Amino acid sequence: MEKQALLKEQEARLTGTKVQTCSKEELRRWILRKRGGLSETEKRKWDAALFERIRALGLHGAGTVYCYASVRGEAGTGALIDWYLSEGVRVALPRTEIQGEEKRIRFYYIRSRAELVAGRFHIPEPPPGSERAEDRAAPVLTPGLAFSEDGSRLGYGGGFYDRFFESEPRHQRIGVCYGFQVVRAMERNAHDRRMDRVAAPERWILGNRLGEEAAAQGG
């Protein structure tokens, strides 16, 4: 009982108005623990709701969608990828590329999830020789450990998506997560990129990218 009370107290602090006092690492640990305890029933229900919510957004009209292959309890994208491909949409997934000090993700087209191979960090990615995607205006379905009400995103700490969006700012950025991964506010750094919107099973969260410039200037 004491342990449960402590967990509830921590959850209230992390998702409450004082979340800005929580470090990124503490928030990461809490989300990972919460995500690791999800039941298959919960995941199926929430993934189905996310599928309908994102499908209704009409991204297939863009012709190309950048997505991610969900792993380790992330909000599921398998059904979305399959549906986009069946609709004739070009789907591109990221590959992690590290050369010396340079660390980045690049997106490559796939024709089926069956062709994905295990990449760095054991994340499924397009195989070598795949065609590179260079649609700099394609919408990007973006994973994250947590998102805030203003569209701020907390990743795993590598900065891959932040650098990608900094180099290609025209993309529509769409975060994808479960409801418990949305917090009121979070610690931000100047290089952190915000989302235009975030899809949760229960609702949309509209982001505020206009705040990025102010944050970068320390405002």
pLDDT digits (tens, 9 = 90+) for 133-155: 999 999 999 999 999 999 999 99
Distance, in Å, from the CA atom of 49 to the CA atom of 140, rounded to the nearest integer, reads 19
Higher pLDDT, 1 or 42: 42
Q: Please check whether residue 126 is in contact with residue 95, taking contact to mean a CB–CB distance below 8 angstroms.
A: yes
On the question of pLDDT at 20 being above 80, the answer is: no
Residues 6 or more apart from 14 whose CB is under 8 A from it?
A: 22, 26, 27, 30, 183
Phi and psi, residue 109, nearest 5°: -70, 145
Domains: count for the chain? 1
Distance, in Å, from the CA atom of 141 to the CA atom of 148, rounded to the nearest integer, reads 16
Kindly state the average pLDDT of the residues 97-112. 93
The CA–CA distances, whole Å, from 29 to 23, 34, 149, 155 equal: 10, 9, 20, 12
pLDDT score, position 217: 47
Q: Please check whether residue 142 is in contact with residue 172, taking contact to mean a CB–CB distance below 8 angstroms.
A: no
Domain that holds residue 76: 2-216
Which domain CATH number covers 61? 3.40.50.10420
pTM assigned to the model: 0.87
pLDDT score, position 50: 98
Residues 6 or more apart from 214 whose CB is under 8 A from it?
A: none
pLDDT score, position 13: 45
Kindly state the average pLDDT of the residues 201-213. 83
